[in-house]
């Protein structure tokens, strides 16, 4: 089949599609989560200025108007075939789902598909690039290409190897599709988005992966002999494996942004690491690490940016129990666990009330927040350690 593409002289100056370093995925496969207006309130209270949705729901986009929060919308996998062969369809999609909401709603990106390459539907591999180009061309004709970035997040399934980080390389089966996609993204100055989950890596091989290494806790780490670099957490190692794969493919200057990462707070029996304690530790330490605005061992000058998965527990998601328990917040808007955010209602996880007490501990040179349970039978001290440990006193 012959595809006709419109090519432009690409001298692209992209506006930033990310404020700071921390964002959150706002998934909505649920029938019990707060209304979008309340979600905006939650995000603003938490100073979350970047979010990603997996569609272009108009109610959500209207709710974010005037919020200042930058939002990446999604063009679902189910639309790719049609968009790839129909430039008018791409134009209509952009006119219906992006253009009318600008500039009030700060739509800064369109994710065309999600985890396509390396996935089970190889026909989608073939139509991904044509769909990406048609969406970009529509934006360009509407003079929005400099304001709205086009991208396509990948899963770890695109890699043949990722350990040690310097061995990162794309699968040979993926390269015929990845190479031209990266060529185009390089021309339009789009980053490489990767969904990276130390949680999934750990539960797939708990006998050979140190849980502390996956959780950013104190551990011996790993040493990459090729680069002479030491890694004390899997998150950074996975990012650098992406950089290594891009370098081997000829794109050493392309930025890597994490489009999804997180840790489940509850899971099936074979997902023993999916606990509230581990989820809190991972997300607390991840946020702390991102707020430092540092790079990775292999790319120390490239500040790491990431969208955490996810805003809420989503009760209608299929799959293992963990899939429904990645939320920083519960369906009622209360926090799933404390990493410094405030819920719409007091948390039922430990029945916290709003009383706040601040104490100074002689042995720890930081200020600690203590939340007292409504039953007044214990006090929880959240310490500012790398492990992000909760101590019951």
Residues with catalytic roles: 115, 260
Q: Is the dihedral of CA 86, 87, 93, 96 positive or negative?
A: negative
Alpha carbons 334 and 343: distance in angstroms, whole number: 4
Residues paired with 72 in a beta bridge: 52, 109
3-class DSSP assignment, residue 77: helix
Q: Give me the DSSP letters along 316-353.
A: T--SSGGGG---SB-TTS-BSS-SS---SS--TTTTEE
Q: Is the dihedral of CA 76, 82, 88, 89 positive or negative?
A: negative
Q: How do strand 390-392 and strand 379-382 relate by DSSP bridges?
A: antiparallel
Asked if residues 192 and 185 have their Cβ atoms less than 8 Å apart, the reply is yes
Alpha carbons 116 and 127: distance in angstroms, whole number: 10
Alpha carbons 259 and 280: distance in angstroms, whole number: 19
Report how far apart, in Å, the C-alpha atoms of 42 and of each of 51, 118, 276, 317, 352 are: 12, 35, 21, 22, 17
Which residues, other chains included, contact 359 with Cβ-Cβ below 8 Å and sequence gap of 6+?
367, 368, 370
**Number of neighbours of residue 312 by Cβ within 10 angstroms:** 27
Q: State the DSSP code for 52.
A: E
């Amino acid at each position: 089949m012959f595809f006709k593409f419109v090519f432009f002289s690409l001298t692209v100056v992209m506006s930033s599609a990310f404020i700071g370093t921390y964002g959150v995925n706002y998934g909505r496969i649920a029938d019990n989560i707060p209304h979008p207006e309340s979600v905006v309130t939650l995000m603003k209270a938490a100073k979350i200025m970047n979010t990603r949705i997996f569609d272009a729901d108009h109610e959500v986009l209207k709710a974010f108007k005037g919020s200042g929060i930058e939002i990446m919308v999604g063009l679902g996998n189910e639309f790719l075939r049609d968009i790839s062969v129909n430039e008018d369809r791409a134009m209509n999609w952009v006119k219906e789902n992006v253009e009318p909401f600008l500039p009030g709603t700060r739509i800064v990106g369109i994710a065309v598909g999600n985890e396509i390459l390396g996935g089970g539907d190889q026909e989608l591999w073939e139509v991904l690039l044509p769909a990406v180009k048609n969406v970009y061309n529509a934006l360009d004709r509407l003079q929005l290409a400099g304001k709205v970035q086009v991208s396509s997040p990948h899963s770890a399934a695109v890699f043949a190897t990722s350990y040690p980080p310097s061995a990162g390389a794309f699968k040979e089966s993926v390269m015929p599709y990845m190479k031209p996609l990266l060529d185009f993204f390089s021309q339009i100055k789009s980053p490489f988005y990767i969904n990276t989950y130390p949680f999934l890596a750990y539960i797939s091989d708990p006998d050979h992966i140190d849980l502390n290494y996956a959780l950013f806790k104190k551990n011996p780490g790993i040493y990459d002999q090729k680069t002479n670099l030491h890694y004390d957490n899997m998150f950074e190692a996975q990012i650098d494996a992406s950089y290594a794969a891009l370098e081997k493919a000829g794109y050493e200057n392309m930025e890597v942004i994490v489009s999804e990462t997180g840790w489940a707070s509850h899971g099936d029996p074979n997902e023993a690491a999916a606990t509230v304690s581990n989820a809190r530790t991972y997300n607390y330490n991840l946020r702390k690490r991102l707020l430092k605005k540092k790079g990775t061992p292999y790319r120390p000058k490239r500040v790491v940016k990431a969208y955490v998965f996810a805003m809420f527990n989503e009760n209608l998601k299929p799959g293992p129990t963990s899939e429904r328990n990645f939320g920083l917040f519960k369906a009622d808007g209360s926090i799933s666990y404390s990493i410094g955010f405030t819920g719409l209602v007091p948390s039922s996880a430990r029945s916290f009330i709003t009383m706040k007490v601040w104490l100074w501990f002689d042995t720890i040179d930081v200020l600690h927040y203590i939340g007292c349970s409504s039953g007044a039978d214990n006090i929880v001290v959240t310490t500012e350690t790398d492990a992000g440990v909760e101590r019951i006193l």
